[in-house]
Amino acid sequence: MENLFNLFIRNVFTENMVFAYFLGMCSYLAVSKTVKTSVGLGIAVIFVITVTVPVNWLLENYLLKAGALKWLGTSFDQVDLSFLSFLLFIAVIAAMVQLIEMVVEKVSPSLYNALGIFLPLIAVNCAILGASLFMQEREYGTIAEATVFGFGAGFGWALAIVVLAAIREKLKYSNVPAPLRGLGLAFIITGLLAIAFMGFSGIKI
């Protein structure tokens, strides 16, 4: 139990998707204009990652890994389908995103319009494919660990986008050189935040 909690904290702060691995940058920079929309996108990302990582964990351990098909019978001992992992992972993610797009369109049309093109883009949000690939690389032992890792990674991403959105809302009141307004300054702020988060990098939990 304590182990899972540590895993969560580690993935939110020291191994933050945005500031430590620079994944999921496109929607991170483009949707962070107001806190409201970024909270919406953050929740969508948390949901997609928390669902796709355990699903991909099951696929990885019962279908793809070398010897994972043992449950079908001893003759499947040698089968190694790991070359299919990219394709299967991205298919699971795309299916989940399509599902969420339909739900959001029904439940909250205003959020749907605010997210615009970036809702389908969650499918190619590298943070989400990245999380599944990290799950594969780090070989989490149980599905509980995989789920907590997914939730932590998503939560860290959501935290990062809300922080940036809050800073950008405050920046409306300062006198920024005109060509730097908006996107240019957002890049520089993200760079500075990332340098700050590098301070976490040595900490072992």
CB of 53 to other proteins, least distance (A): 15
Closest to other proteins by CB, 69 or 100: 100
Question: Which of the residues 57 through 116 are near other proteins (CB under 8 A)?
Answer: 86-87, 90-91, 94-95, 97-98, 102
Q: From CA 198, how far away is CA 205, in angstroms rounded?
A: 15
CB of 12 to other proteins, least distance (A): 19
Q: Does 26 bind other proteins (CB under 8 A)?
A: yes
Closest CA relative to residue 48, chosen from 17, 75, 9, 5: 17
Using only C-alpha atoms, the chain has a radius of gyration, in whole angstroms, of: 19
Sequence-distant (≥ 6) Cβ neighbours of residue 136 within 8 angstroms: 56, 60, 85
Closest to other proteins by CB, 9 or 22: 22
Binding residue (CB under 8 A) for other proteins from 117, 141, 199, 202:
117
Q: From CA 201, how far away is CA 205, in angstroms rounded?
A: 11
Q: Does 184 bind other proteins (CB under 8 A)?
A: yes
Binding residue (CB under 8 A) for other proteins from 123, 153, 158, 161:
123
For the residues of 90-133, what is the DSSP string, one character each?
HHHHHHHHHHHHHHHHHH-HHHHHHHTTHHHHGGG-HHHHHHHH
CB of 25 to other proteins, least distance (A): 4
Closest to other proteins by CB, 72 or 196: 196
